[in-house]
């Protein structure tokens, strides 16, 4: 399993609340409405800042420059590449990202999951 993890910064013209609403209420439904893209996706997760997160800081340094974290899971690197090169992704989803995300300010990481501990039953 391959996961693309993106630390997301909102577009400069948006407040954090506007960004959160747009990402959750507009962008996610758009992404899920594109079967040519979603047929490659195994899991799509948005992590939004929890109330008080900015004030609490982080054990690993200041992450207040980011407004959320997105995860998209794929079966393989090839599947991820196919999804990100789908013509409908490039036509509909990618342009929508530019409306609410500071793409140059984001940090991306491609990972291969290695679970060290999972307390969920059956996991």
Give the pLDDT confidence score for residue 8 in this predicted structure. 95
Cβ(7)–Cβ(107) below 8 Å = yes
Q: CA-CA distance, 111 to 119, in Å (whole number)?
A: 21
pLDDT tens digits for range 36-63: 999 999 999 999 877 665 554 555 555 5
- Give the range among 5-14, 16-25, 54-63, 104-113 with minimum mean pLDDT: 54-63
Nearest CA to 104 among 11, 20, 23, 30? 11
pLDDT tens digits for range 76-121: 999 999 999 999 999 999 999 999 999 999 999 999 988 889 898 7
Domains annotated for the chain, with CATH where assigned, are 9-52+63-112 (3.30.70)
- pTM assigned to the model: 0.84
């Amino acid at each position: 399993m391959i996961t693309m993890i993106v630390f997301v910064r909102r577009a400069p013209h948006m407040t954090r609340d506007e960004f959160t609403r747009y990402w959750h209420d507009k962008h996610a439904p758009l992404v899920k409405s594109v079967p040519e893209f979603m047929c490659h996706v195994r899991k799509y997760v948005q992590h939004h800042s929890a109330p008080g997160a900015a004030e609490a800081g982080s054990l690993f340094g200041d992450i207040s420059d980011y407004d959320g974290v997105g995860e998209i899971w794929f079966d393989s690197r090839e599947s991820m590449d196919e999804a990100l090169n789908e013509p409908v992704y490039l036509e509909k989803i990618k342009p929508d990202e530019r409306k609410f995300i500071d793409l140059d300010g984001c940090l991306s990481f491609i990972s291969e999951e290695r679970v060290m501990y999972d307390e969920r039953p059956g996991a």
